Amino acid sequence: MAFAAMPALPVLHGLKVLRPEEAKQVPSYPFLAPLLALVTANRSSDLSDSWRPGTDAREWRGLKLDEQGNLVELMADACGIQEAPPAFFDLPHLEKLWLSNNGLRTVPEEIARLTSLDSLWLGSNLLRSLPGGIVGLSCLKKLWLPANMLTRLPAEVCSMVSLEWLDVSENKLEEVCPEIGHLTSLTRLDLHTNLLRELPPAIGNLTRVKHLSLHFNQLETLPGEIGQCSGLVWISLNANRLRELPAEVGNLTNMVRIALHINELTSLPPEMGRLTNIEALSIFKNKLRSFPPEIALGLAGGCTRLGLYENELESVPPELGAMTNLQELWLYSNKLTSVPPELGNLCELRRLWLDRNALTTVPKELSKLTRLQELYLDHNQLVELPEELGSMTQLRRLYLEDNPPELVLPPSVAALACLQESVDYGVSPELAFKAEMQTYK
C-alpha cells in the first residue's frame, strides 16, 4: 500500500529561533537561596506555587525590593509554614517580616541574623517560647506575638529596649516579669486576653506608653505605680476582677479613654476627677453604690458619654448636671428611686436611659432637655409624670411600658407624637438600641 507524500510545511518568515545563550536571563538575587530554603522546608505550603526557581523573583508573592534589589519586606502570612529553617534568616537587608497565621512552633536562634529588621509579625502561631537570639534584633521597634501559647513574657523580650510596640495579647500569660520596666521606649503595650492576676510595680517605668490594653484578664488590683505612666491616653481594664482602683489613677491627666466596665468595683477614687480630658467613661456592669461628685465635676469639660448602667446605684449626685457636654447618659438597671433635677442642665443630651430602676416620678426639669431624642422610663414604678414633659415635642422615642397601671399621663404628655402608633422614624427601637450599644462599646 503506497502512502501519499506529506505536504511541505510552509516557511514561517519573520520568526527567529533563539539560541540558548540568547534566551531571556532571569535576574539573580542574594535573597533567593534563603527564600528557596523556606520553600524546601515547607513543600506543602502555598509558597511552592508562587516562589519557583527559574522565575523572576520580582514577581513572587509578598516581596518588596528596594532600588538596589535588596529584599526589604516579606509577607508570608497564612501560607502553611510550619518550619523556618536557619538558612532562611540570611536576609541582612530585611526590614519587615510577616509570618502570622502559620503553624510555627519554634523560631531558631538564627533569627538574630536579621540585623535590619524593625517590624516582626509572629501572631496566630503555636509558639510557646522565643529564642534567646531575638535579643540580637537591635533595630526592632514593633513585635507582634498575639494568639500564641506563651505562658510568660519572655525575659529576652524585656531586654529589647528599642521596642516601641509590643503585642502579646491572646496568649496564656499568668504574669508579667518585673523586667518589663526596662522597655522605656514603649508607646503601645497590648496584654489583653491573658490570665494576668496582677501587674508588677515596674509597669510605672513605662512613662511613654500611650495605649495600654489589659481587658479580659483576671486582674484584682492595680499597683499604685500605674499612676506614673504619665503618657497614657487610652487604657482598657474592662472584663477583669477589679474591686478597687488606686488613687494614683488620678495622676493620668492625659487620659482620653478609660474602660472599666465588667468588673467588681464598689467605689471609685475621687481623684479620678482630675482626668479632665476624658471623652467617654464606661463603668457599667460593676457594683458601684455611689458616683463621686468630684468625678462629675472633673469630667464636665469634655465627656460626651457616661455609662453607669447595671450597677447598684441608689442615687446620683446633683453635680452630674455640670456635665453639660454629655450626649448619652446610661443609668438603667440600678436602684434609683429618684434623679436630681440638675439633670435638666444637660443641654447637649440626646439619649437618656433611666429604665429598670425604682423611680416613682421624674423631675419636671427634664423638660429643659431640648435636644433629647430618646427617653427611656420603662420598667420603673412611675405613678405620675410632670405635665412639663409635654413640651418635649422633639422626642422621637419615649418608653413607658411596664410601669404600674395607675400611671396616668397628663394630656400634654399623652399628646406627644412619639407616643402615637402612627409615627415611624424608620428604625425600630430595638435596632436603634443595639446600634448605640455597639457604638458605645
Give the tens place of pLDDT for each residue, 215-240. 999 999 999 999 999 999 999 999 99
The reply to whether 169 falls in a domain is no
> Mean per-residue pLDDT for 140-145?
98
pLDDT of residue 424: 42
- Please, which pLDDT band fits residue 154 given cuts at 50, 70 and 90? confident
The predicted pLDDT at position 10 comes to: 46
Cross-strand partners of 190: 167, 213
Q: Per-residue pLDDT averaged across 366-373, rounded?
A: 98
Three-state secondary structure call for residue 433: helix
What distances in angstroms separate CA 360 from CA 194, 268, 381, 399, 416, one per listed residue? 44, 28, 5, 15, 21
* Pairing relationship of beta strands 351-353 and 305-307 according to DSSP bridges: unpaired
Residues 60, 80: Cα–Cα separation, whole Å: 17
What is the extent of the structural domain holding 330?
266-434
Higher pLDDT, 10 or 202: 202
Q: What is the pLDDT, as a whole number, of residue 421?
A: 61
- Give the contacts of 193 (CB within 8 A, at least 6 positions apart): 169, 170, 171, 215, 216, 217
Total domains in the fold of the chain: 1
3-class SS of residue 188 = strand
Is the residue at 383 inside a domain? yes
pLDDT over 70 (residue 9): no
Query: Does residue 93 have a pLDDT over 50?
Result: yes
Helix (H) or strand (E) holding 412: helix 411-414
Percent pLDDT > 70 in the chain is: 90
Cβ atoms within 10 Å, residue 199: 21
Residue 77 included in any domain: no
d(CA 109, CA 107): 7
pLDDT at 18 over 50: no
C-alpha to C-alpha distance for 334 and 313, rounded to whole angstroms: 5
Q: Tell me the average pLDDT across 159-187.
A: 97
Residue 404 belongs to some domain of the structure: yes
Q: What are phi and psi of 73, to 5 degrees?
A: -140, 140
Mean pLDDT of 124-150: 96
Complete DSSP assignment for 296-322: HHHTTTT--EEE--SS--S---GGGGG
pTM (whole model) above 0.75: yes
- Predicted confidence at residue 441, as pLDDT, reads 38
Note whether residue 73 is domain-resident: no
The residue whose grid cell reads 464606661 is: 282
∠ Cα 194 217 103 (to 5°): 15
The answer to whether 121 and 140 have CB atoms below 8 angstroms apart is: no
CA atoms within 13 A on the CB side of 59: 9
Question: 50: pLDDT confidence band, cut at 50, 70 and 90?
Answer: confident
Residue type at position 68: Q
Say how far apart CA 87 and CA 67 lie, in whole Å.
Answer: 24
Task: Give the tens place of pLDDT for each residue, 183-198.
Answer: 999 999 999 999 999 9
User: What are 313's three cell numbers?
Assistant: 446605684
3-state helix, strand, coil in the chain (%, to 5): 25, 10, 65
CATH number of the domain to which 343 belongs? 3.80.10.10
Residue 399 lies inside a defined structural domain of this protein = yes
Q: Which helix (H) or strand (E) holds 50?
A: helix 47-50
| pLDDT of the residue at 432 | 45
User: What letter would DSSP give residue 27?
Assistant: P
**Residue 56: CB atoms within 10 Å:** 12
**Within-domain flag for 410:** yes
| Whole-number average pLDDT of the chain | 91
Distance CA 229, CA 51 (A): 46
Instruction: Return the pLDDT at 39.
Output: 95
Report d(CA 48, CA 58) in Å as an integer: 16
Q: Residue 256 pLDDT more than 90?
A: yes
Those residues with Cβ within 8 angstroms of residue 36's Cβ, 6 or more apart along the chain or in another chain: 51, 53
Q: Is residue 181 part of a domain?
A: no
Condensed to tens digits (0 to 9), the pLDDT of residues 379-436 reads 999 999 999 999 999 999 999 999 999 999 999 999 999 998 644 444 444 444 444 4
